[in-house]
Chain A
Amino acid sequence: MDSAEPILSLKGIGKSFYGNRVLADVSFDVGAGEIIGLVGENGAGKSTLMKILFGMPVISETGGFEGSIYFNGKEARFKTPFDALDAGIGMVHQEFSLIPGFTTTENILLNRESLNSSVLVDVFGPRISTLDRATMESRAKSAIAKLGVTLDPNMLIKEMPVGHKQFTEIARELCRENVKLIVLDEPTAVLTESEAEVLLSTLRLLASEGIAIIFISHRLREVVELCDRVVVLRDGHKIEDFPAKGSSTKQIASLMVGRSMEAQAKIDAASAARSTQSDSDARETILSVENLWVDMPGETVRNVNLSVKKGEIFGIGGLAGQGKLGIPNGIMGLSPAGGSVVLNGTPVELNAPRAALERNMAFVSEDRRGVGLLLDEGIDWNIAFTAMQVQNQFLKPILGGLFLWRSDAAMSNLAEEYIKLLEIKCTGPGQRAGNLSGGNQQKVCLAKAFALRPDVLFVSEPTRGIDIGAKHLVLDTLKKYNSEYGTTIVMVSSELEELRSVCDRIAIVYEGRIEGILPHTAPIEDFGILMAGADRDETTVALVGGN
């Protein structure tokens, strides 16, 4: 794989923001046709490194960087991302940067359209020429052909399944004449497992044609499977650079967090210990759900029946898009829903978030920034907000109860307490939630739910997009909360391992219905069969080939 001359060579890259060092002496090479997996916890310096590579203005605005970058044999110091693109580096971002009302072709060739020549160009410049749609389509088609997948060049982006959007993004990078290196930032985060597999084989195909790839991902299994070499960053330093073949996800994970396997062992031990105590059959039912349907975009629930025992941690798993996220969102009144939900023997009013909260249920949403947090308010406000609105906590009566006055001191104390308890990294209770990192935002969301002292706590994708250290803390906190207060927890997650390490019983959702409920001790193959529905192969076809 290694050619004599690397395509990209980073030498001693360092960077500090206002005296705060985020990268120090990072060096590695990327050869033509080589796939490098770049891994590290959040805040390890991956995104800063990519910003330096792409010449993002924020780097030069904060005093430039140390070290040097050689691209294609020449020293490169890109001033803007466009210089990097011109030199032949493509970037596929985590969030889609596509225009929804445009077709595949229009998106692939956005701002690089083929133009008809016209006399007006001499007077008004090139932007006055009309578009040459026929040439555009054939250029788009040839870019799509390189991917080895089929995409309709005339389909609107907004009508596409999510996997096709990701492929459109990659096709756009490939469509540049001289692309030699593509950086993919968490490209599989939004894809289902089967879509992700198609993407990985596409990347292998591209690499075999000589395009170098930097693959940034939290899904370590994919990194091991796909990459030639793995570069691990931790706290701004390059920790290790080794061939992916023969390495294990455990090994990479421990390098990333810099801890021994101690933490992992703890989980295993805890899981084993729990298996003895989970005699959940004897306990009474706290929540029972019958014929629930939920209209949540992309996560439709069609007909769900399940019952949750008091004091247990109940897991809900399944592939993306099968409806597992719809269940808590429907019960908590955030998405249109119907059916019957009975809590402690009395029915819960659906489609009314306040009613659900008043029944002492709490929800930690998977949509942290949208639903979970008031981004422009401080941590104290965020944690106390729901408790204040629903349970009249943190309010003191004035004039014999004529008015209720907000008690800032009580809110602040509460925030301090949870900052300490959950190790929220912040400047203080007043820091805006929007300025916290993903992991710390999640902790604030948890604290907000804890402040309600709920009977039933729904937690949706609690570890999505947060680093390993924070992951352990979040899961440990949930377990601790469950055992200390006897709170029933319903946890929805796409990571089966996580569910198996925390939950007592795990329901697998498939096509909007419960496919089966298994104890956490059940072998992983059994879960796999449930996740894939009746016929695994058919599912794969429906998910990937679906048009």
Chain B
Amino acid sequence: MSSKLRNFFIDNAVVILFVVLIAIAIPVSGLPGTFLMQEILTRLGRNTFLVIALLLPIMAGMGLNFGMVLGAMAGQLGLIFITDWNIVGIPGLLLAMIISLPISVFLGWLCGSIMNLAKGREMVTGFILAFFMNGLYMMVVLYAMGSIIPIMNPELLLSRGYGIRNVVGLDGVRQSLDTLIPLKIAGLNIPAFSFLIIAAVSYFIIWFRKTKIGQDMRAAGQDRAVSGAAGIPVEQTRILAIIISTVLAGIGQIIFLQNLGTINTTSSHEQIGMFSIAALLIGGASVTKASIPNVIVGVILFHLLFLVSPMAGKNLIGSGMLGEYFRQFVSYGVIALALVLYEWKRVTQENDSRATLRGGGAPAAKEAKGGAA
């Protein structure tokens, strides 16, 4: 029994650590329960889709897709255009998604192709690729828009006449998904339609795993050489995983931003990769294995900690800055921690499984151990 309990702790080390942290931080922060509940519901609707976008590349053995930022850029371009054209509500969001689609597919194909050249180093490749594409995105948004790409609405442009303003208000589409089906339970606003979309994409992922191409993705994720020898088009399958991930990230970013109601033109997309990945890891996922429950648990835990840590920091130390610092610390630190814990877990399990093989099980072995020391 005790070994079972121990295994449970080892299996869920990351999740347990964060549950404990939050259990301490919530009372210290002094934030009311209803506020937290409402925030979590909102944030679930806002972020879950983005985190789900990470699942397929993990299945395809490509690790955490830091390249999802590329999709977020595509989503933002779509939103900037519909804001300029003043298309509001659900049609506006749909059009933004349609605009983002070819851009996401192209960027995903590019990203996947480059990752195929850097097999085994997909994570850092995606990370750097996101930095590189950020430069191109900035060029498009700050120079091309308003000069080469026509922008009709002068309010969107910087005063110099070209380039998009730092903040773009999305008043036309603000929360139009979340409030499409108005639902209020016990005084809490529930973004029912966003949840339905999340349910649909979750179903898509589950169904996709069962398809032939999903099976190929799993195979390629475990052993590229064997899969290739069996005739599975490994490179093409990997590119497809990244394309789907990028497209989902684009749509996810649109859902994320319609909830917030504004775009930070130059920075909204930057943090999204980091936050989504941190949330997924806190949910108990690893570089090689992730599921939909990991996504949901991760989003809840990550955002709870995100919510309560500034207040907890302020109440403990008396400085709001500390809370802000703590947010940054949490999101970056958590990725490092989850990766380290994942490795520790792997080693522990390996040692555990071999425990009976050590020391021979004979009484003589104990003396022997002493002798060696």
Contact = CB atoms under 8 A, between A and B. Distances in A.
Contacts of B212: 113, 115, 126-131
Contacts of B361: 302
Nearest to A158: B222
Interface stretch (A95-103, A370-378, A537-545): A95-103
Identify which of B210, B211, B361 gathers the most chain A CB atoms within 10 Å of its CB. Answer: B211
B1 interface: no
B359 interface: yes
B211 A111 contact: no
A338 interface: yes
Contacts of A512: 360
A303 B357 contact: no
Interface stretch (A67-75, A266-274, A286-294, A423-431): A286-294
Identify which of B365, B368, B372 gathers the most chain A CB atoms within 10 Å of its CB. Answer: B372
Contacts of A351: 372
A305 B295 CA distance: 54
Nearest to B359: A293
Contact of B227 (A110, A113, A115): A110
B358 A338 contact: yes
A302 B360 contact: yes
B167 to A, nearest CB: 40
A111 B372 contact: no
B232 interface: yes
Interface in B199-238: 207, 210-213, 215-216, 218-219, 222-223, 225-227, 229-232
Interface string B246-264: 0000000000000000000
B229 A97 contact: yes
A79 to B, nearest CB: 14
Interface string B351-373: 00010011111101101110110
B213 A340 contact: no
B368 A290 contact: yes
Given A293-B359, A302-B362, A339 B215 contact: no
Contact of B207 (A82, A106, A130): A130
Contacts of A347: 371
B105 to A, nearest CB: 14
Contacts of B232: 110-111
Contacts of A292: 368
Given A111-B232, A293-B358, A295-B358, A303 B225 contact: no
A351 B368 CA distance: 14
A486 interface: no
Interface string B82-105: 000000000000000000000000
A466 B357 CA distance: 32
B364 A291 contact: yes
Interface size class of A (residues with CB under 8 A): 35 or more
A127 B223 CA distance: 19
A73 B60 CA distance: 42
A291 B222 contact: no
Nearest to B354: A295
Interface string A130-157: 1100000000000000000000000000
A62 to B, nearest CB: 20
B364 A303 contact: yes
B221 to A, nearest CB: 9
A292 to B, nearest CB: 7
A339 B373 CA distance: 9
Contacts of A42: none
A494 interface: no
Interface residues of B, number: 32
A59 interface: no
Contacts of A81: 229
Given A100-B223, A293-B365, A338-B369, A303 B216 contact: no
Contacts of B368: 290-293, 338-340
B297 to A, nearest CB: 23
A339 B229 CA distance: 45
A189 to B, nearest CB: 19
Contacts of A440: none
A336 interface: yes
A206 interface: no
A106 B219 CA distance: 9
A111 B361 CA distance: 44
A310 B215 CA distance: 59
A217 B77 CA distance: 62
Contacts of A102: 218-219, 222
A350 interface: yes
B190 to A, nearest CB: 32
A106 B369 CA distance: 44
B372 A339 contact: yes
A98 B215 CA distance: 14
A373 to B, nearest CB: 21
B61 to A, nearest CB: 10
Contacts of B360: 291, 293, 301-303, 512
Interface in A76-106: 81-82, 97-102, 106
Contacts of A129: 211-212
A300 interface: yes
Contact of A100 (B222, B359, B365): B222
A292 B359 CA distance: 8
Nearest to A128: B211
Contacts of B222: 99-102
Identify which of A81, A101, A290, A292 gathers the most chain B CB atoms within 10 Å of its CB. Answer: A101
A339 B223 contact: no
A111 B229 CA distance: 10
A65 to B, nearest CB: 22
B229 to A, nearest CB: 6
B358 A99 contact: no
B357 A98 contact: no
Nearest to A98: B226
A350 B372 contact: yes
Nearest to A91: B229
B365 A291 contact: yes
Contacts of B225: 97
Nearest to B232: A111
B220 to A, nearest CB: 9
Contact of A130 (B210, B223, B357, B371): B210
Given A110-B227, A303-B365, A128 B354 contact: no
A130 B229 CA distance: 22
Nearest to A114: B212
A130 B204 CA distance: 12
B227 A340 contact: no
B367 A291 contact: yes
24 contacts: A100-B222, A110-B226, A110-B227, A111-B216, A111-B219, A111-B231, A127-B211, A127-B212, A127-B213, A128-B213, A129-B211, A130-B211, A131-B215, A291-B362, A291-B367, A291-B371, A293-B359, A302-B361, A302-B362, A336-B358, A338-B358, A338-B365, A338-B368, A339-B368
Task: Across the A-B interface, give the 8 residue pairs with the lowest CB-CB distance, nearest first.
Answer: A291-B368, A302-B360, A339-B368, A127-B213, A111-B230, A340-B371, A293-B360, A110-B230
Given A97-B230, A99-B222, A127-B212, 9 more contacts: A106-B215, A110-B219, A110-B230, A111-B230, A128-B213, A295-B354, A302-B362, A302-B365, A303-B364
Interface of A: 81-82, 97-102, 106, 110-111, 113, 115, 126-131, 290-293, 295, 297, 300-303, 336-340, 347, 350-351, 512
